[in-house]
Homo-oligomer: A and B are copies of this chain.
Amino acid sequence: MNAEFINPFIKGLLNVMETMAQTTLKPGRPQRKSNEVAKGDVSGLIGMIGPETKGSLSITFDESLALTIMERMVGERPAKLDADVGDMVGEVTNMIAGSAKRDLADVGYDFGMATPVVVSGKDHTISHQVDGPKIILPFMCDEGSAHMEICFDK
């Protein structure tokens, strides 16, 4: 999996955060996940199926960042990770995958997207079950951190 494939997802996340929540995330160093585990409090997951491969995308937020994003979008900070925050994370996941899907279609990679699923729970971990490489991308800002993972079967 090369940068040509990963960059549209990074661009999608950064754009969605800027546009929807006026939040500038700073990308950290991408890692081939081995023992590295994305841990967080609320995650959006989405399955992807192309003609030649299949995979999954996850974006995991810590509580502080998720609440800040919600506050900037709706004008009020939720007291906790409630259903509205979950819906926002599901929508963000869908938008990131949709943005990457359009960009990758332009260069000849087509894939279909399943519906997003949102997981809530303090310090949960995500494990993508693929044969291929797992790429974990950390993102930081003053308000908290997020981890995006993009995994394909080959």
Contacts and interface: CB of A to CB of B under 8 A. Distances in A.
B126 A118 contact: yes
A115 B47 contact: yes
Interface stretch (A10-18, A53-61, A137-145): A53-61
Which label, helix, strand, loop or mixed, suits the secondary structure of the A interface? strand
Interface residues of A, number: 38
A115 B87 contact: no
A34 to B, nearest CB: 11
A129 B86 CA distance: 9
In the complex this chain forms, how many copies of it are found?
2
Contacts of A91: 129
Nearest to A120: B125
A112 B45 CA distance: 17
A124 B120 contact: yes
B116 A114 contact: no
